[in-house]
Structure 1
Amino acid sequence: MKKILIVLTNTIRYKNTNDATGLWLGEATEFVDEVVKAGFSVDYLSPKGGFVPLDPRSMKYTNDDDLKIYENTDFQKRALSKSLKPTDIVPSEYSAIYYTGGHGVMWDFPNSLELQKITENIYQQNGYVTSVCHGIAGLLNVKIDGHYLIENKKITGFTTAEEILAGKKKIVPFLNEQLAQEHGAIFQKKRAYKEFAIQDGQLITGQNPFSARAVAKLLIKNI
């Protein structure tokens, strides 16, 4: 059985504020729903391991499928309570890595050298590197042979327009769309908050929270 590594945030609140953030639940549960039904197994990783907070705003957008996975004891334990830490991971065991979003990832994904190394190893063994929404932050600084992984690649992620609409443009440490372009990516996008996912070789990325299933379906076609 092929395995997929799902990366989650440990960040509890927007930096320098009292506003809660964390994982956007549907970006994990909807992806998991698709890949597990397709016969894949998943492991859950976070930069520090252990507890993964949920963005409270994400709970307003859940549906029955999301809640069924959220209520599952396995998900509660392995994803939200006892997520793996980078030193637990053997990259050769995985066919793909998937970076979930939620604003929390903006602080703990981009500069994690351990996450970057795991991503590099999976990519170099012909695995797939995937993300949705803010999860693109986990791809932005990954380098392969001295070049940014996303350089000259068509990718997408949470756009600057969507960040403005979310009211977080002045709070986040950087803008994903802008930094992706600075690192040489060919950034693609569609209308704000509409499903959109794109593949360029081993990279599969989704624009916003409504794109998790689309990312999963593209990945399933390839592995």
Structure 2
Amino acid sequence: MAPKKVLVVLTSHDKIDAINRQTGWYLPEFAHPHHILSEHNVQFTVVSPKGGAAPLDQGSIELSKEDAVSMSFFENQKALWENTATIKEFRGRAAEFDAILYPGGHGPMYDLVDDADSIALIEEFYRAGKVVSAVCHGTIALVNVKIDGEHIIKGREITGFSNDEEDFVKLTSAMPLLVEDKVVEAGGKFVKADIFGDKVAVDGQFVTGQNPVSATSFAKALVTAIGA
């Protein structure tokens, strides 16, 4: 059987603007899906809005020091995020992939939320019947995607970084918007566990995970969804 293929979309935004704090994509939210999916012979292509090196949230490295999967990924897989292609290069190519995946980190809140190429790509994957997946703040990439004027997540169970979690990490006031609020505004049914609980939502083509703690469960659900 031919290997399954996943297109991973990383942020190009490297700081929380309001407080000038370094950010980017969050290490375990790519590391754990990569670990689980690789065990099922899944192949990865990685893109970002600007291409080139996609900024890794340096705080996520420090917080993952005791996480062997994340540290192995950080030490051995740098080629995946240090030379990404642009999202634009992959428009019109959904047929080559089985799923699209958006890891989180605070970076997506600034660029992927309204990136025109990203929105067009998600629409293309959705129309093609492919799996659309996101974890934590990556879910923000889904909220502005519409087909025939209607949000694609309307009526769907969707999860992502909750308002309670944003409050817990004391970044609510620094955010330009909130994942939970925007999912609800788009007509999605936002579902969540307690703060930093393990939560995955699977509804139709959508597979979403709530937070870094959910990254492994999210990856296992994605394996099932693509039949890997």
Identify the TM-score tier after normalising by the shorter chain: over 0.9
8 A Cα contact 2:140 2:182, kept in partner: no
SS in 1 for 2:187: coil
Task: Identify which of 36, 48, 69 aligns with 1:65.
Answer: 69
- Which residue number corresponds to residue 22 of structure 2? 20
Matched residue count? 220
- Which residue number corresponds to residue 162 of structure 1? 165
- Which residue number corresponds to residue 147 of structure 2? 144
Q: Using the TM superposition, name which of 63-72 and 154-163 deviates more.
A: 63-72
Task: Identify which of 2, 5, 11 aligns with 1:3.
Answer: 5
Moved over 6 A (4+): none
Q: Distance in 2 between matches of 1:222 and 1:162?
A: 27
- Which residue number corresponds to residue 109 of structure 1? 112
Give the Å deviation of 1:17: 3.0
- What RMSD in Å do the two structures reach over aligned CA positions? 1.1
TM-score after normalising by structure 1: 0.95
Aligned 1:116-195 pairs, distance under 5 A: 116-195=119-198
Give structure 1 stretches of 5+ with no counterpart: none
Give the Å deviation of 1:58: 0.7
SS in 1 for 2:21: coil
- Which residue number corresponds to residue 206 of structure 2? 203
Q: Using the TM superposition, name which of 95-104 and 61-70 deviates more.
A: 61-70
Q: Distance in 1 between matches of 2:105 and 2:78?
A: 18
TM-score after normalising by structure 2: 0.93
Q: Using the TM superposition, name which of 147-156 and 63-72 deviates more.
A: 63-72
Q: Distance in 1 between matches of 2:206 and 2:108?
A: 19
Q: Using the TM superposition, name which of 48-57 and 185-194 deviates more.
A: 48-57
Q: Distance in 2 between matches of 1:165 and 1:17?
A: 17
Give structure 2 stretches of 5+ with no counterpart: none
- Which residue number corresponds to residue 54 of structure 1? 56
Give the Å deviation of 1:46: 0.8
Cα deviation 1:150-177 (Å, max 9, x = unaligned): 1010101100000000110001101111
Give the Å deviation of 1:38: 1.0
Task: Identify which of 67, 75, 78 aligns with 1:76.
Answer: 78
2:129 matches 1:98? no
- Which residue number corresponds to residue 88 of structure 1? 89
Give the Å deviation of 1:60: 2.6
Q: Which amino acid counterpart does residue 62 of structure 2 have in structure 1?
A: K
Q: Give the fraction of aligned pairs with identical amino acids, expressed as a percent.
A: 34
Q: Which amino acid counterpart does residue 87 of structure 1 have in structure 2?
A: K
